Structures are given as structure tokens and as C-alpha cells.
Structure 1
Amino acid sequence: MIFPNVLFDAIFMAVMAGAASMLGGALGQVSFIKRDWINSELRHGILAVGGGALVAAVALVLVPDGMELLPAWAAVLSFLLGAFAFMQLDLYLARKGTPIAQLIALLLDYIPETIVLGAIITENYSKAVFISVIMMVQNVPEGFNAYRELKGNKSGVLAKHIYLTFAAVIALGIVSAWVGVRVIEDSSSLLGVVMLFCSGGILYLVFQDIAPELKLENSHYPAYGAVLGFAVGLIGHSFV
């Protein structure tokens, strides 16, 4: 039986994680940072923290928990298929030259992670909280980059509705949390597939889109942000 408060909690966590992307968008508007080197290091540092949090989610929760629910061959296959699917979408967006690549990247991890959150909340509430915190940490830099990308769109069509777009992201998170609680919660095998599929895709995005952006000449601080992001995951995992 699904208790109403469990569904409410899952939706609340999804909304908070989605709202973090809106916070990142708000940071993207900051105009008082004038000196280029500060702006550059800040952007790279924020990106690194999000990357570290993503790796923490994969290493500490998604892969180990997913592998417990699946036979080894199914776990590896799901992992590889996730990476392949994300790669194909990434290639498609690159060919199209779309101005919403960062927004798509945000959705690619936010939606499946929210499904996982909803699916596990009845069995392990503290782990659901951990996942929601990791999502908030990673969604701030992703929202930051998505805002900058949308704002830089020459057509200006999407830029006029940026926050409406982020609101739609939150709405999708609510639906995903509901799917996790109502649909996937009773299917451990399906949950394992979702976890491993997400893990492969997220790891691909980290090394394809995030890690290459972190290196900055004459500065080592942005890369340390990845360590800080992973440390957030370690702290959260210690309470699970």
C-alpha cells in the first residue's frame, strides 16, 4: 500500500531538486561579476561541483544498488545501453546545433533520478533524501549553464520564457516522482534497469560534456570543485 504522505514527500523532494535548476538560472543572471578571470573560474567551479555530485550519485547509490537488483549480465547491458542512448542524443543535438543542449542534459539525469527517488522512498527513506540532495547540488550548475545557453540564443524566443521552461522541468519531475512511487516501486528488476541505465548515461555526460570544460589555464581551483561535489555525496551517504 502507498501512503499519501510518502507520495507527497517524493513530490516535495522532486520539486526542491527541480527548483535548484531555477536557482542556477538565477545565478546565471548575476551581472556584478565584471572581471573575466573571476567569471571564468566561478563558472568552471560551479560546473565541477555538479560533475562531482553526479559521479557521487553513480558511484555511491545508482550502480551498487542497481547491481543488487539485477543479474550481472543485465546490469552491464543496462549500463552500456544507457551510455549509448545518451551518446546518440548528444550526437543528434550536436548535429542540429540546438540551443537547448544543456537543458536536455539537465532533463536526462533529473527525470530518471526522480523516478528512482520515488521508487525507493518506501523502502529506504534516507536514501531517497540523499538522492534528492545530490540532485539539488547537480541541478544548480546545470540550471546555470542552461540559462546561459538559452539566454545566448540569437532568436530570443526561448530566452523570453526561460523560467517558464524551468517550471516545466519541475512539472516533469513531479510526474516522474509519481511514476516512481506508483509504477516502479513494486518492480525491483525495472528499478535496477533504470538505475544502471541512468548511471551509464550520466557517466557518459560527465566525461563528454562536463570534464572537458573544467580545465582552465593557470588555475587549479575549478577541478577541486569536483572533489567538493563528491564530498557532498560522501557526507550524505554516511547518513544513509
Structure 2
Amino acid sequence: MNEYLVVLAFAALPALGNFAGGALAEFVPVSRLMLNLALYSAAGVVVAVVAVELMPRALEADPAWAIVLAFVLGGVFYVAVDWAIQRLNDRYGGEGGAGPWVIFFGVSVDLFSDGIMVGTGSTVAVGLGLLLALGQVPSDIPEGFATVANFRRRGVPRSRRLLLSAAFAAPIFLGATLGYWLMRDASELNKLLLLTFTAGVLSTLVVEELVPEAVEEVPESPLSSLAFIGGFALFALLSTYLEVE
């Protein structure tokens, strides 16, 4: 149990990073360009999570068709949830449309994957779990900022925004719990299938929601590409220098 509490303490680091980004969006004037850059930065980080951290591990698994299928199912799952949210929004109406809620879901999945990595990594070595948690913090700050800023621009009340920002702690603690208690005794293939499913969800999130939302705010800006590249590079550097064999 003491080790599990340590895992939860590790998982709290990315959760605090995400909340800090959301809190920053509450006090900093949110321009359309700033929101555009935050979304592109978050997209770059998410792509790096998939390309640098998740898929290289998954591609080591056999059979390859199972890995590919898990990736496809992750994308299909995201599309299905996106469709359901859009239909509910069309039927019952929503504050500012379904876009912010889909981003909220996608960031929750990203945080859940963070928790899975922290929890699973901690079963390998305590130091690995800590380094994985620290590596997620810079990626979660722009995600939290972009999500709360999007809700703010769409007119969602501040009390609800703060509640939603705090709610981001739930998926990462859930992921860390599952990663520690369930995945520690699972086969390597099952661990990689779960990570690949998550990679499919996150990849579809970038294409379907983060980038379109950013383009809607500012259609053309040379800074957008730099923000995307910067987000990717930041996570890649952290993943490289904090890696534990």
C-alpha cells in the first residue's frame, strides 16, 4: 500500500501541471492568437507522446496485426464518442458547442494514459515512475491552458471551469491505479495493446479537434507551426533525457 501511495504522489505531478495551466487561463487575457498557439502546442505534445513514448514501445510487440488493430480501435472509439457528444449537443444544446467538451474528453484520455504510464513504470522501478511523471508536467500545462481558455471563450461560468479543471485529476489517478494494480502482473503484449489503443485515441484527437479548433481561432499564423514544433520538441527532449532503461 505504501508503494501505491507513492504512485499516487507521482501521478499528482501531471495533475497539478494541468491544473496550473487551467488556472493560468483564468488570470491571463485570452486572445485568439494565444488560444491558437496553446492548442497547437498541446497538439505537438500529444503527437510527441504518441510518436516518441507510446508507439516505439508498441512496435516491439508481436503479433504486429494486434498492435495495428488496437490503434485503429482507439481511433474508432474517439470518433464514436465525438459523434455521440455532437448528437447530444444538437439535441439538448450546449454552451459554446461540443468542441470544448470533445477537447475535455481528449485531454482526459491523455491524462489517463499519463497515469497508465506512471503506474506501470513504477512497477518496473520507482525512479522510472517518478521520471515519467516529471516528463508529463510540461506537456499538461498547455493542455490545461487550452482547455480552460476554450471554455472561457465559449462563455462557461468560472465556477464550472474551475470544477472541470480540478476534475482532470480523476482520470490520471484512475490510470495510475489501473497501471499499478492491474497491469503490473499483465503480459507485455497486453500492456502495449492498451498503450496503442490510447495512441489511436490521441492521434485522432489531434486531427479531428485540436488543430481544427486552433485554425478556427486564427486561420493562418506562422507562429502556429512553431508552437507545434516547440511542443513536440519539448516532450521529445524530456523523454530522451529523463529516460530510464
TM range (shorter): 0.7 to 0.9
Partner secondary structure for residue 68 of structure 1: coil
> Are positions 1:28 and 2:30 aligned together?
no
- Cross-structure match for 1:179: 178
Partner secondary structure for residue 195 of structure 2: helix
The answer (yes or no) to whether the contact 2:37–2:224 under 8 Å persists in 1 is: yes
Q: Which ranges of structure 1 fall in alignment gaps of 5 or more residues?
A: 34-38
Which of 29, 40, 46 pairs up with 2:38? 46
- RMSD of aligned Cα (Å): 2.5
The answer (yes or no) to whether the contact 2:19–2:168 under 8 Å persists in 1 is: no
After TM superposition, the score normalised by the length of structure 1 is 0.83
Q: Which amino acid aligns with 1:197?
A: F
The CA distance in 1 between the partners of 2:61 and 2:127, in whole Å, is 19
The CA distance in 1 between the partners of 2:154 and 2:223, in whole Å, is 29
| 1:13, distance to aligned residue in structure 2 (A) | 2.6
The CA distance in 1 between the partners of 2:122 and 2:197, in whole Å, is 19
The CA distance in 1 between the partners of 2:131 and 2:40, in whole Å, is 19
Report Cα offsets for 1:64-106 as digits up to 9, x if no partner.
1123244201100001000110111111112222553332121
Partner secondary structure for residue 119 of structure 2: helix
- Cross-structure match for 2:71: 79
The answer (yes or no) to whether the contact 1:214–1:223 under 8 Å persists in 2 is: no
The answer (yes or no) to whether the contact 1:103–1:143 under 8 Å persists in 2 is: no
| 1:182, distance to aligned residue in structure 2 (A) | 1.2
The CA distance in 2 between the partners of 1:32 and 1:73, in whole Å, is 48
Instruction: Name the CA shift for 1:144/1:15 in 2 (closer, same or farther; >3 Å).
Output: same
The answer (yes or no) to whether the contact 1:52–1:228 under 8 Å persists in 2 is: yes
After TM superposition, the score normalised by the length of structure 2 is 0.82
| 1:126, distance to aligned residue in structure 2 (A) | 5.9
| 1:128, distance to aligned residue in structure 2 (A) | 4.0
Which of 63, 83, 90 pairs up with 1:91? 83
Instruction: Name the CA shift for 1:154/1:213 in 2 (closer, same or farther; >3 Å).
Output: closer
- Cross-structure match for 2:168: 169
| 1:177, distance to aligned residue in structure 2 (A) | 0.7
Q: Which ranges of structure 2 fall in alignment gaps of 5 or more residues?
A: 96-100
Q: Which amino acid aligns with 2:88?
A: K
The answer (yes or no) to whether the contact 2:35–2:149 under 8 Å persists in 1 is: no
The answer (yes or no) to whether the contact 1:147–1:162 under 8 Å persists in 2 is: yes
Instruction: Name the CA shift for 1:217/1:197 in 2 (closer, same or farther; >3 Å).
Output: closer
Across the two proteins, how many residue pairs are aligned to each other?
Answer: 230
Structure 1 moving runs of 4+ over 3 Å: 124-131, 148-156, 213-218
| 1:235, distance to aligned residue in structure 2 (A) | 1.1
The answer (yes or no) to whether the contact 2:55–2:199 under 8 Å persists in 1 is: yes
Report Cα offsets for 1:4-27 as digits up to 9, x if no partner.
34x334322321111222112212
Q: Which amino acid aligns with 1:162?
A: R
Partner secondary structure for residue 87 of structure 2: helix
| 1:124, distance to aligned residue in structure 2 (A) | 5.4
The CA distance in 2 between the partners of 1:136 and 1:162, in whole Å, is 20
- Cross-structure match for 1:14: 11
Q: Which amino acid aligns with 2:106?
A: A
> Are positions 1:220 and 2:222 aligned together?
yes
Q: Which of 213-222 and 185-194 deviates more?
A: 213-222
- Cross-structure match for 2:237: 235
Q: Which of 138-147 and 18-27 deviates more?
A: 138-147
Q: Which amino acid aligns with 1:87?
A: V
Matches within 5 A, 1:134-173: 134-151=135-152, 156=157, 159-173=158-172
| 1:155, distance to aligned residue in structure 2 (A) | 7.5
